[in-house]
Structure 1
């Protein structure tokens, strides 16, 4: 009887181990990718179309905020995600211990300052309310943008870790309001101006190169990434997906669709 129980226990362990291996092995002809709504989703739809021609099925999961796609990837609900830049990824890994990493670059979305009240940042008045994203990396990016626009001066050397507390000079005594990035376009009328990520600006109907009252240069260093779990980062199906994504056809689609508001990195 004891021998029988031992054999049953061993069989269960073997089955469980096999299930664990299967859960982390990617299919050769199917992949699930998480993206945020807007341009990332539009681009991935084009990638999906091209991938189908090479017998690769791309399943698209669309998210409306920035935290869950990394959690879903780390937990194995996604094979890849495509929506974030390196400072955001680094911060997410540091905060939450994710075992994920960048495997390729995708596109750059120049962040802009938008307003329903004024046509130029020089028209901001004393004490005006100005909104920016409340997550650390996009908040820092917005502050760097405000500094480039001549509105503030940040403490020397803070760079991509800048916070509102790092504002050293604020000549107009602007009141900086930190909001969830995806909600800022909907609350734009409640502030004098706001820094908005391009994907959310486009989703709200803005054309960044036309509607922003100040915008990052097209060669901004905040390039977006394709991110995978560390254990799968060199999987052949991921390499195939990256090759299709970074193709001339996708680059042409980006240029034709976004007319300079989104810039291919390759």
Structure 2
């Protein structure tokens, strides 16, 4: 019996060693796997492309997936189809988590994109006529951001002037009788020529070749609380690859790139 038992034990030991080796290799493969990041085209993808060679030298292969909406980048990270994303503000993330039952977390703040109001028909906000057609983003965070900007310039009055979740129902005064319509944020540059005023996120404005500092009739000031964050899941926030990406996004090289490329339309938050 012993004669047959020894070879069997040896075989099992070899198999166990093989499984252990496979698990170890799996860990190494995970550490060496590409880091996938979802981003909107401008300025997020441009910034990521700028630091891609830097990360490659640190052993991180960055794979950028470009999106033009604000929902899928979060859903795909939450569902573990992608590792992280870079496109959104803190208030937007908080609202998204609450509405979708997700638990995405902020890794680090990178930049601010001052939000603006644009028109193809008028060159100053004073020219806006009574009953003007105004479009704003249809998501709670950016919609309220648009209303807050209008309220700061006395075009409307809100029940709570600092409420970052204000809606059209919170308008208590509308002296110009503005007519509001809500559309998906990505659509707003496309309808700019059809309305009197459009409140547009800077990333979409830049993609549409609008210059926020020259073309916006109204724009947020430098004290804007809407910082754009690198975002991950709670379970991969401390992944060394994610931390290297966070460090690269807040490096002196990126600060210089943002200041040179966007001339104040995008501002470093670090």
User: Take 1:98 and 1:28, find their aligned partners in 2: how far apart are those partners?
Assistant: 27
Instruction: Please give the residue correspondences for 1:98-117 in structure 2 after superposition, counting only pairs within 5 Å.
Output: 98-117=102-121
Within the alignment, does 1:246 sit opposite 2:253 as a pair? no
Instruction: Please give the residue correspondences for 1:1-266 in structure 2 after superposition, counting only pairs within 5 Å.
Output: 26-28=30-32, 30-156=34-160, 159-266=163-270
Contact 2:32 2:59 in 1 (8 A): no
User: Take 1:158 and 1:262, find their aligned partners in 2: how far apart are those partners?
Assistant: 23
Change over 3 Å in CA distance of 1:65–1:172 after alignment to 2: same
RMSD: 1.8
User: Take 1:180 and 1:244, find their aligned partners in 2: how far apart are those partners?
Assistant: 31
Change over 3 Å in CA distance of 1:145–1:31 after alignment to 2: same
Contact 1:26 1:237 in 2 (8 A): no
Residues 76-107 of structure 1, C-alpha deviations (whole Å, 9 max, x = no match): 11111011111111111111111211111111
Contact 2:148 2:162 in 1 (8 A): no
Structure 1 unaligned residues grouped into runs of 5+: 1-14
Contact 1:70 1:81 in 2 (8 A): yes
| TM-score for both structures, normalised by structure 2 | 0.87
Shift of 1:28: 4.3
Shift of 1:62: 0.4
Runs (4+) of structure 1 exceeding 4 A deviation are none
User: Take 1:168 and 1:176, find their aligned partners in 2: how far apart are those partners?
Assistant: 14
Contact 1:128 1:175 in 2 (8 A): yes
Shift of 1:226: 0.7
Shift of 1:148: 1.2
**Greater Rg by CA:** 2
State how many pairs are aligned: 247
Contact 1:110 1:217 in 2 (8 A): yes
User: Take 1:179 and 1:116, find their aligned partners in 2: how far apart are those partners?
Assistant: 18
Shift of 1:123: 1.1
Residues 174-226 of structure 1, C-alpha deviations (whole Å, 9 max, x = no match): 00111110110010111101110000000001111011111101231100111
Change over 3 Å in CA distance of 1:256–1:85 after alignment to 2: same
**Structure-1 residue corresponding to 2:3:** none
Contact 2:117 2:218 in 1 (8 A): yes
Contact 1:82 1:225 in 2 (8 A): yes
User: Take 1:30 and 1:147, find their aligned partners in 2: how far apart are those partners?
Assistant: 45
Contact 1:151 1:171 in 2 (8 A): yes
User: Take 1:117 and 1:240, find their aligned partners in 2: how far apart are those partners?
Assistant: 46
User: Take 2:166 and 2:30, find their aligned partners in 1: how far apart are those partners?
Assistant: 38
| TM-score for both structures, normalised by structure 1 | 0.89
